[in-house]
Structure 1
Amino acid sequence: MTRFRLYDEVQAVIQDEMPLIQINYVTNTFALDNNAVPIETVFNIILFEESKMNEILEMKDKLEMKDKILEYWDYRSSDYHTEYAKCMDEEIEIWKSVFSEILLTDEKIRAVEVGTGPGLLAISLAAMGHDVTGVDLSENMLEKAAKNAKEKGVDVLLVQGDAEKIPLNDGEYDFVLSKYLLWTLPQPDKFMAECCRLLKDGGLMMIVDGLWFQNPDGTEKKSSRYEKFNELYSDVKPNLPLAKNNTPERITALAQSHGFDAVSWRFLEDYDAFLERNDPSGHASSYIQPPHMVLAKKRSHN
């Protein structure tokens, strides 16, 4: 008789995420280490073949990581980027200048900012007359983005969703962008594939990120200035591929392996100067070099 292991904590994972896994029930008794056990004693306990357990537990771990990530960013929504709130108009003008330089069109485009947070990039694009959707895992962040958009008098469609499984349609967008998102993702390759899926052929992807957990001498920072981050990310950060050495060269290689060509990058020196000018102490603790911007176009299949 086939051996089974008992699990009482993964039923939701199976039902919601892995509907094709075969659940092996035994009608009256089941065998566990050669002992027959009445089925009544394991009511509501799921039985799995041993070969399936690693896959199940790996998915369970990923969901738990996402829960911690969401908890942290919900928590940070109350103060994230508030040190720059007094100069929001100046920041919007900087991003509008960046977009004017890279989009090279006066025509209305459809854009998605993934990991929109307080919505500053999405708002900047909307203020230029574009049709913009902002996506974020954190509903608290989306509430902040909605408040900022209302204050600036622009319309941004805000959608709750995971950057590794974005709830938007294929091939409908001209421009997909993210800022300070890539390092937070357990599976950045899935995000890159999602960007490719959302874009029209020839559409543009923009990724802004930086080296967040490194000291100027190249050694890794042992802790964050945020106690809540240290608490929730202690087990998460080692499982984030781009939390360490998040260089533009690595992002470039990732983009090229997921359907993008014409990849280029540069440092955002004007934005870096804005950050240093308006929050010198925060800039000194977070930025060992200017944020970098990677641009790539989706390959055309024609």
Structure 2
Amino acid sequence: MELLEQIEDYWTDRAEGYSQVNQEELAGDNRTNWRRELERHFPENRTNETYKILDIGTGPGFFSIILAEAGYQVTAVDYTEAMLEEAKKNAGAFAQKITYCQMDASHLAFADETFDAVVSRNLTWNLEDPEQAYKEWMRVLKKGGILLNYDANWYHHLFDAEKREEYEKDRQMVTEAGMEDHYTCTDIDTMEEIARQVPLSRIDRPRWDQKILQELGTARVSVDTEVWNQVWSEVEKVNYHSTPMFGIEAVKE
């Protein structure tokens, strides 16, 4: 089976469970924390109703929902049909305000310079060709537009002994705290098989991302390695202690 098919099959099977995670986020502080984080990057003189945002790898729709709720023009993209169905259900009354597209993140069917902002979370690490994806994301941004990408060194512990030790400590802390383990509650064998094949599992990020985006001719690239502290719940901070989330902001020339 081709890698892209494996990835699609995994996330199709995971759609309902992952949707429950998003529902918990929408019901808690994550909803407010993430909206605050995203909006602090947008221009102050924007008009929400005309500000066009592309949410790539929307999954069950978390970013799209909180942005549509704030009045933005939102287009949500995901490769997996089952994820888009969950996203529509989770959006409720906001679903009619969001444009949903089933699409490959590395090959977008949008014209050049369509969007004011591109946002993504927990996607890049899972791509076959993340460099091509970044090229596409910058292509569809308007001049002066903003790319916001949030990710982590997910599954880097498969290739780094020190990280593996830290990962095992995370699992121990989760057990001791009586929390649900966000890793072992999934089909971990299948996910690890995919993670061994995608390129970014082997790379220490976000330096790689910064380099690639600079080579694409961005006006400015900045990295926030502490963003996890602002947006993660306490459960996430315990589960992913050894893989803190980073945020990347790139501004198109």
Deviation at 1:285, TM superposition (A): 3.4
Equivalent pair of 1:265/1:293 in contact (CA under 8 Å): yes
Alignment partners' CA distance in 2, 1:121 and 1:140: 17
1:85 is matched with 23
Deviation at 1:298, TM superposition (A): 1.1
1:176 is matched with 118
Bigger radius of gyration among the two: 1
TM-score for both structures, normalised by structure 1: 0.69
Find 2:74's aligned residue among 113, 123, 132.
Answer: 132
Deviation at 1:238, TM superposition (A): 2.9
Verify: 1:293 aligned to 2:247, yes or no. Answer: yes
1:214–1:92 CA distance, 2 compared to 1 (3 A) = same
Verify: 1:238 aligned to 2:196, yes or no. Answer: yes
Q: Secondary structure at the match of 2:148?
A: strand
| Percent identity between the two aligned chains | 25
The aligned runs of 1:60-139 (5 Å cut-off) are 64-80=2-18, 82-83=20-21, 85-89=23-27, 90-105=29-44, 106-107=46-47, 108-139=50-81
Find 2:231's aligned residue among 261, 265, 271.
Answer: 271
Deviation at 1:245, TM superposition (A): 3.6
Equivalent pair of 1:109/1:130 in contact (CA under 8 Å): yes
TM-score for both structures, normalised by structure 2: 0.81
Verify: 1:258 aligned to 2:216, yes or no. Answer: yes
CA offsets, 1:104-149, max 9 Å, x none?
Answer: 3341311101100011111111112110101000000001111111
1:149 is aligned with what amino acid? A
1:5 is matched with none
2:214 is aligned with what amino acid? Q
1:49 is matched with none
Equivalent pair of 1:212/1:287 in contact (CA under 8 Å): no
2:13 is aligned with what amino acid? Y
**Cα RMSD, aligned residues only:** 2.5
1:42 is matched with none
Q: Secondary structure at the match of 2:89?
A: helix
Unmatched segments (≥5 aa) in structure 1: 1-60
Find 1:208's aligned residue among 150, 160, 164.
Answer: 150
Mean Cα displacement is larger for which, 260-269 or 213-222? 213-222
Deviation at 1:186, TM superposition (A): 1.1
Q: Secondary structure at the match of 1:261?
A: strand
1:163 is matched with 105
1:48 is matched with none
Q: Secondary structure at the match of 1:242?
A: helix
Q: Secondary structure at the match of 1:243?
A: helix
Larger RCO (alpha carbons 8 Å, 6+ apart): 2
Deviation at 1:212, TM superposition (A): 1.7
The alignment of Structure 1 onto Structure 2 pairs a total of residues equal to: 230
Equivalent pair of 2:22/2:60 in contact (CA under 8 Å): no
Unmatched segments (≥5 aa) in structure 2: 169-182
1:245–1:187 CA distance, 2 compared to 1 (3 A) = same
